[in-house]
Amino acid sequence: MKRIAIDMDEVIADFHPKMLATWNAHFSQQLTLDELNLFNLHQDDPDKLVEIFELVGDPTFFADLGVIADSQRVIARLSEHYEIFITTAAMEVPTSFNAKFQWLKQHFPAIKPSNIVFCGNKSIINADYMIDDNVINFANFCGEGILYSAPHNRHVTGYRRVENWQEIETLLL
Amino acid sequence: MKRIAIDMDEVIADFHPKMLATWNAHFSQQLTLDELNLFNLHQDDPDKLVEIFELVGDPTFFADLGVIADSQRVIARLSEHYEIFITTAAMEVPTSFNAKFQWLKQHFPAIKPSNIVFCGNKSIINADYMIDDNVINFANFCGEGILYSAPHNRHVTGYRRVENWQEIETLLL
First to last CA, chain A: 13
CA angle in degrees (0–180, nearest 5) for A137-A138-A144 = 135
Give the nearest chain A residue to B122 (CA atoms): A114
Distance from CA of B93 to the nearest CA of A (A): 10
How would CATH label the architecture of B3-14+63-172? 3-Layer(aba) Sandwich (3.40)
pLDDT digits (tens, 9 = 90+) for A16-54: 999 999 999 999 999 999 889 888 888 888 999 999 999
Q: Would you call B79 exposed, middle or buried from its count of C-beta atoms within 10 A (0-12, 13-18, 19+)?
A: middle
User: Tens of pLDDT along chain B (173 residues)?
Assistant: 999 999 999 999 999 999 999 999 999 999 999 888 888 888 888 999 999 999 999 999 999 999 999 999 999 999 999 999 999 999 999 999 999 999 999 999 999 999 999 999 999 999 999 999 999 999 999 999 999 999 899 999 999 999 999 999 999 99
Residues of A in contact with B119 (CB under 8 A): 114, 116-119
Chain A residues touching B124 at Cβ < 8 A: 3, 5, 85, 87, 115, 117, 125-127
Q: What are the start-end ranges of the H helices in A5-63?
A: 15-27, 41-44, 46-56
Q: What is the CATH number of domain A3-14+65-172?
A: 3.40.50.1000
- Catalytically active residues of A, by annotation: 7, 9
Helix/strand/coil for B6:
strand
Predicted pLDDT of residue A40: 84
Position B158 scores a pLDDT of 96
A89 neighbourhood in chain B, CB within 8 Å: 114
Inter-chain contact A117–B119, Cβ cutoff 8 Å? yes
Any residues with CB less than 8 A from the CB of A135 and at least 6 apart, and which?
A145, A147, A153, A156, A159
* Residue ranges of domains in chain B: 3-14+63-172, 15-56
ipTM over 0.90: yes
Residues paired with residue A129 on neighbouring β-strands, in sequence order: A4, A144
pLDDT of residue A39: 84
Q: What is the pLDDT along chain A (173 residues), one digit of tens a residue?
A: 999 999 999 999 999 999 999 999 999 999 999 889 888 888 888 999 999 999 999 999 999 999 999 999 999 999 999 999 999 999 999 999 999 999 999 999 999 999 999 999 999 999 999 999 999 999 999 999 999 999 899 999 999 999 999 999 999 99
